[in-house]
């Protein structure tokens, strides 16, 4: 999840020469869009770029129409062909349906409706959550796949067997990660998945387990994890459980 992607090789110039442009699109509009593309490519933070609802004769309605008729039809495959990934860069799951997301949304940024650097492949679920918001995760500029600074705080209640899982963010770097996980609802998913894993360990090991066998079990589960970015949160979970195995042991044997 939150995997960076290489910036696209495709640039606006390639697109403009390939499509039949609408009548409102002349040299002035073309030059402005090329100018704005340069600004985007050089931007340190694309979310700082100001919205714009009109460039010459090109307005939001016309630019949306242009995207829908031209990009979606003729150039969608060309854009997607650049990425060999089989997983969504945001949630990390294998694609069920691929959408193209306008990181800076079409409804506010007339200048980036057909600009490749603003068009990011994304699964339809993540795309739906993102909607028209100009916030999120831009895989051409950001990479949080290491989930740096993320940790757990797990409290066990041996009376009602409940587990309270909190995600802990340990550094300033993880502030953006925290926002991204929250924005796409993945913090909740991680908590639910982690809780299930712990309950399963308790059920499988039973209350007669010895401490050293619990440790061996956690180490084995950790080493069996597929080593990729989509499992990073599980690695962090098992590291936490190994470092705090006394609490887990008490929970299992009581
Ligand atoms: Zn996704």
Domain ranges for the chain? 12-130, 150-253
Return the minimum-mean-pLDDT range out of 36-50, 181-195, 233-247: 36-50
pTM of the model: 0.86
How far apart are the CA of 254 and the centre of ligand 1, in A? 39
Are 177 and 183 within 8 A, CB to CB? no
Contact at 8 Å (CB) between 56 and 26?
Answer: yes
Q: Ligand 1 centroid vs 28 CA: distance in angstroms?
A: 37
pLDDT band per the 50, 70, 90 thresholds, residue 53: very high
C-alpha 204 – ligand 1 centre gap (Å): 32
Span from the CA of 32 to the centroid of ligand 1 (angstroms): 32
DSSP string for residues in 75-101: IHHHHHTT---SB-TTT-PBPSSEEEE
173-203 b/e (C-beta count within 10 Å ≥ 16 → b)? ebeebbebbebbebbeebbeebeeebeebbe
Ligand 1 centroid–CA 252 distance in Å is 35
**From the CA of 102, how far away is ligand 1's center (Å)?**
14
Q: Is the pLDDT of residue 252 over 80?
A: yes
Ligand 1 midpoint to CA 245 (Å): 33
| Helices first, then strands: H and E counts in the chain | 10, 6
Tell me the β-bridge partners of 152. 167
pLDDT for position 88: 92
CA of 192 to the centre of ligand 1 (A): 18
What is the pLDDT confidence band of residue 74, given thresholds at 50, 70 and 90? Answer: low
Average pLDDT over the chain, rounded to an integer: 89
Question: Over 90: is that where the pLDDT of 163 sits?
Answer: yes
Share of the chain above pLDDT 90, in %: 59
d(CA 115, CA 95): 23
Of 19 and 100, the one with more pLDDT: 100
What is the whole-number distance in angstroms between the Cα of residue 169 and the centre of ligand 1?
22
> Which stretch of 106-115, 127-136, 235-244 has the lowest confidence by average pLDDT?
127-136
Q: What is the 91 CA–ligand 1 centroid distance (Å)?
A: 4
- The confidence score (pLDDT) of residue 73 equals 63
Ligand 1 centre distance from Cα of residue 125 (Å): 6
Q: Is 117 a residue whose pLDDT tops 90? A: yes
Q: Give the distance (Å) from ligand 1 centre to CA of residue 94.
A: 8
Q: How far does the centroid of ligand 1 lie from the alpha carbon of residue 49, in Å?
A: 25
26 pLDDT tier (thresholds 50, 70, 90): confident
pLDDT tens digit string along 165-208?
Answer: 999 998 777 888 999 999 999 999 999 999 999 999 999 999 89
Q: How far is the CA of 193 from the centre of ligand 1 (A)?
A: 17
pLDDT band at 78 (very low <50, low <70, confident <90, very high): confident
């Amino acid at each position: 999840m939150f995997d960076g992607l290489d910036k696209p090789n495709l640039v606006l110039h390639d697109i403009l020469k390939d499509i039949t442009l609408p009548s409102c699109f002349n040299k002035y509009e073309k030059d402005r869009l090329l100018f704005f593309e340069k600004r985007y490519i050089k931007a340190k933070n694309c979310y700082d770029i100001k919205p714009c609802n009109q460039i010459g004769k090109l307005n939001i309605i016309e630019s949306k129409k242009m995207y829908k008729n031209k990009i979606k039809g003729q150039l969608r495959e060309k854009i997607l062909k650049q990425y060999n990934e089989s997983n969504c860069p945001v949630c990390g799951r294998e694609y069920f349906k691929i959408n193209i997301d306008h990181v800076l949304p079409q409804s506010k940024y007339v200048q980036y409706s057909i600009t490749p650097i603003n068009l990011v492949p994304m699964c339809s679920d993540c795309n739906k959550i993102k909607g028209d918001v100009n916030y999120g995760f831009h895989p051409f500029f950001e990479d949080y796949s290491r989930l740096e600074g993320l940790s757990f705080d797990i409290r066990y209640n041996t009376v009602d067997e409940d587990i309270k899982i909190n995600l802990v963010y340990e550094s300033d770097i993880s502030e953006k990660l925290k926002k991204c996980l929250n924005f796409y609802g993945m913090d909740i998913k991680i908590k639910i998945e982690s809780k299930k894993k712990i309950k399963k360990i308790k059920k499988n090991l039973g209350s007669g387990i010895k401490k050293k066998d619990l440790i061996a079990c956690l180490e084995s589960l950790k080493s069996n994890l597929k080593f990729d970015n989509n499992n990073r949160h599980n690695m962090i979970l098992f590291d936490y459980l190994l470092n705090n195995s006394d609490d887990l042991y008490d929970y299992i044997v009581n």
